[in-house]
Structure formats: structure tokens, C-alpha cells
Amino acid sequence: MEAVIERLKEHLNHSIVGQGALIDDLLVALIAKGHVLLEGPPGIAKTTAAKALANAIQASFQRIQFTPDLLPGDVTGSDIYQQHSGQFQFTAGPIMHDIVLADEINRAPAKVQSALLEAMGERQITVGSATYPLSELFFVIATQNPIEQEGTYPLPEAQLDRFLMKIQVDYPDLETELQVLHLIREQDKHGGGATTAPVVTLDDIAALQKTALNIYMADAVEQYIVHLVMATRHPDKYFEDEGKMAAMIEYGVSPRATLALDRCARAHAVIAGRDYVTPDDVRAVVHNVFRHRIVPSFQAIAQNLSNDQLINMLLAKVPVL
């Protein structure tokens, strides 16, 4: 398994310069069998990262550019009337692939976003009266730009909760920016980036996912996960100043977050090359798992407290048993 992870990392690091944390987070989501939302300003390799991951795996890939005029059938597919037979026949949409890039997902209206709910939650789609199963790998990588809000439709809480992780992608530092400049310049000299063959198969990914499910997790780590979840719902039980923290969180995370934190911690341990999960694995992924699920109160927003800061406060108070 270590060899598979190293091949994936080497391939992705060659395509995405200076985004080591993003690469690790994408691999965690892939191994944990969840979907991921990438949020960051334009031009920082969100789409490139999704394409590079798809190219590394021997899997089918499809990009959907979300726009305000998109219809649900444009995503899921629809029943098309066949004149020669006089019957309707299902024509598969772009979602019927292994890896789907939902580019600028918040540019599509709620009706289209809702078309993804069943697919992301149950790995199937329903068109008319028929239900069609999706790929066993089925992995959605969605992107959104938090800067420009004109003409966008914020994702509803039910949609956000179906994303295993929300990853914040920021601008690179000075040295990384120079590496990107040199890499793109070299690619331009040689007629664009070189296309490489996939480095892992679907069976390799399935084996990694199975390994993560079977990895050892002690009772103390399980309890730590549950206590972190409970601290978002009942912060008064974990903070001495009972009223202050309780007033900062309007709604805590869902039970789906408990499962997500468990799966992501296991996947993180696999990537680290261990056969057991530690509290550090939990802390390494908790921000990406909780970030989009905590609903801050008006008081927290007024004090400019981000969800990441609220999570840091929780981590400081919830002990490892």
C-alpha cells in the first residue's frame, strides 16, 4: 500500500507544485470514500488538482462546468424520445463517471445542486421511475470561488453535509510561486504539459479503501471523536464559561460528521504508513470535516470568529481520554 501512495504523491507533486497539504487532503478523501469541496480564490490550481488526480488513476473522468442555465438533466442524464422506436431511452449524463469535477458548483441554481444530493449520498440517480447505480469509486470534487459572489447560489446545508471534507486552498508563498513560474514556462516551451499514463488502478484504490476500513482504532480515540462532535452540540458541558461558547455555535455537526471524522482519521493514518489511528490523525483532519458543518451564531459572526477558530477552541478544551 505504501508503494501505491508514493506513486500517487509523486505524480500529483509533479503536476501541482507547492500544494502538499492539498494533495494529502485529496488522498484522504479518496481513501475515505467521500466527496470533497475545494474553496479558494481563482487561479490557484483547484481545477488542476482535480484533473491531476483523475489522470493518476485508471478511471473515467468528466468535468461539469456549473452555470446558471444548467438543468438537472444536464447533470444526471434524461429520458430521450426515440422517434424510430416510439419509446423513451435513458441517455446517461456526465455524472455517470468514476471521478466528476463539479467546477464552480455554486454558480448553478438550487434545482441543479439538488440533483447531486442523491448521487453523493446514495451513489445512485433516479430519472423518471428508474434508478441507476453509479460507479463504486464515484468521487465528486467540487470547486467554488469565495471572492466573487455575484450570480452565485450558496450551497444549502444539506448539500454541504454530503461533502466529506471542505478544503481551503490559499495562495502559494514566494518560493512556490517561482517554482510554478518555471514549471509553466518549461511546459510552454515543450508545447504544454506532458500527458502521462495512470500510475494506479481502480483495484489499487479499492485496496487502499479496504485497508483504511480495517485499520485499528482504540476505544479512547473513538471516544475522542465522539466528544469532539458533542462539544459542537453541547459546548456548555466542555467549557467553564458555559454561556460564552454556547452562544458562538448556532448548530453543531451532524452524525454524518462523526462517521466522516472516523473515516478521514483512518485514511490519514494509512497515508502516514501506520496500521493504527492516533489522536493526532483526528486533529489533522477535524478542520476539514467540521469546517462546513458548524453553523456559527450571529454573535460569532459579529466578532469575526471563523469556523476554524471555533474548532481550535474546541480542540483546546476537549481532552483525549
**Structure confidence by residue, pLDDT tens digits, 181-193:** 887 777 777 665 5
Domain 2-186 has CATH 3.40.50.740: no
- What is the arithmetic mean of pLDDT over 8-34? 88
- What is the arithmetic mean of pLDDT over 263-267? 97
DSSP H or E segment with residue 139: strand 139-144
Q: For residue 284, give the 3-state DSSP assignment.
A: helix
Q: Which residues are within 8 A (CB) of 46 and not within 5 positions of it... i.e. 6 or more apart?
A: 38, 40, 143, 169
DSSP summary character for residue 128: T
pLDDT value at residue 81: 84
The answer, yes or no, to whether residue 85 has pLDDT greater than 90, is no
The full length of the chain comes to: 321
The answer, yes or no, to whether residue 242 has pLDDT greater than 70, is no
Q: What is the dihedral of CA 60, 137, 274, 271, to 10 degrees?
A: 40
Query: What is the location of CATH 3.40.50.300 in the chain?
Result: 2-186
CATH of region 215-317? 1.10.8.80
- What is the arithmetic mean of pLDDT over 11-31? 87
- What is the arithmetic mean of pLDDT over 99-115? 87
- Count CB-CB contacts under 10 A for residue 311: 22
Look up the pTM and report it.
Answer: 0.89
With a pLDDT cut of 70, the percent of the chain lying above it is 96
pLDDT value at residue 86: 83
In the structure grid, which three cell numbers stand for residue 228, read together?
469532539
DSSP H or E segment with residue 30: helix 20-31
- What is the arithmetic mean of pLDDT over 83-112? 88
Q: For residue 291, give the 3-state DSSP assignment.
A: coil
pLDDT value at residue 283: 96
Which region among 123-127, 148-152, 298-302 has the lowest average model confidence (pLDDT)?
148-152
